Amino acid sequence: MLDLTQDVRALTAAIVDIESVSGHERALADAVEGALSALPHLKVSRSGETLVARTQLGRAERVLIAGHLDTVPVAGNLPSRVDGDLLYGCGTSDMKAGVAVALKLAAGLPEPNRDVTYVFYDCEEVEAERNGLTRVARDHADWLAADFAVLMEPTDGVIEGGCQGTLRAEITVTGKRAHSARSWLGVNAVHGIEPVLARLNAYEARRPVVDGLEYHEGLNAVGVSGGVAGNVIPDLCVVTVNYRFAPDLSIEQAEQHVREVFDGFAVSIVDAAPGARPGLTHPAAAAFTAAVTGAVGGEPRAKLGWTDVARFSALGVPAVNYGPGDPNLAHQQGEYVALSKIVESERAMLDWLST
């Protein structure tokens, strides 16, 4: 049974020491469920290894605080150990420190100034189809209803608003095979991608300001492949491009843009995920920003990578990333979190929800 009255630093270590690699979160989910269910001010629901706990105070606003329970595979870095201000171990930064902060809030704030929904979910580190949020959004969308959400992924204690969307497409150029000794009888598809690359090189990425944050787009080749044999003129060449688009565009608009850039070429969309607006203009978000910047300093910035905040955005819930971990340490064998950052993060969140 997890003791939610202990210091947030000790609680982080306790959670880290319950191994929870993706697909094996049951022990931790059980421990979290046991601890939350003991709190009379929360209504706890469970779907698989995902827990949702809600205050039901009838406040005018509801905010959502979320963290995933799983980690990447352990790499000889458990149990956790403390060295000065640093807590080492698998999942310390990504993102059990954030989970510990959320659990402390859940236990310590029976009457927050806003209704709060706490979400602890499974399988974030693996394919989207297994992600607990995917399942809950599909089966119990009402559990996730809120005016604003904070995903406590590692951001080094700075608010990272929303996230950019991502779209991958294949640009295919065809030609005609021929023996390379008589190349003029063929049409070289590899030579044919020159204008595709020229458009990529000439591309000027947008840097739009969305809800007060400046995003930075990018359109890039992430792969190219073509060739039949060392003596054959290739009849096929495929350039795979990745468009990272600011959250003022929908997937449909992003696709339209890519098709326009490569007008005249065969464009096939491989996959896409929407962005998320930061929603920092919402009153709950403004209060959150004031609390965090008051406690920690550091102006909010745009999140450029894709995160689960996009799932909240898709449900109509503006969302930000904010957590004590250092994102650069995620998934590394030497992963750690600064204990002082966890405390700082807990204080900022308490300020936001209690004053």
User: Residues interacting with a copy of itself, by CB under 8 A?
Assistant: 164, 166, 168, 179-184, 188, 190-191, 193-194, 197-198, 200-201, 205, 216, 218, 220-234, 237, 239-240, 242, 244, 270, 304-306
* Amino acid in the structure at residue 94: D
User: Both tokens of residue 274?
Assistant: 């929407």
The residue (of 89 and 274) whose beta carbon lies closer to a copy of itself is 274
- 351 classed as catalytic: no
The one catalytic residue in 124, 160, 211, 335 is 124
Decide whether 140 or 207 has the Cβ nearer to a copy of itself: 207
**Cβ neighbours of residue 37 under 8 Å, at least 6 residues apart?**
44
- Amino acid type, 178: A
Output 123 or 237, the one with its CB closest to a copy of itself.
237
124: annotated active-site residue: yes
d(CA 94, CA 107): 22
266-273, strands of its sheet edge to edge: 236-245, 165-174, 266-273
Query: Which lies closer to a copy of itself via its Cβ, residue 74 or residue 304?
Result: 304
Q: How are strands ordered across the β-sheet holding 336-338?
A: 81-83, 86-88, 336-338
Q: Which two tokens stand for residue 343?
A: 């405390």
Q: Among candidates 160, 117, 185, 186, which has minimal Cα distance to 303?
A: 160
Residues 56, 60, 62, 63, CA torsion sign: negative
Residues belonging to the active site: 70, 124
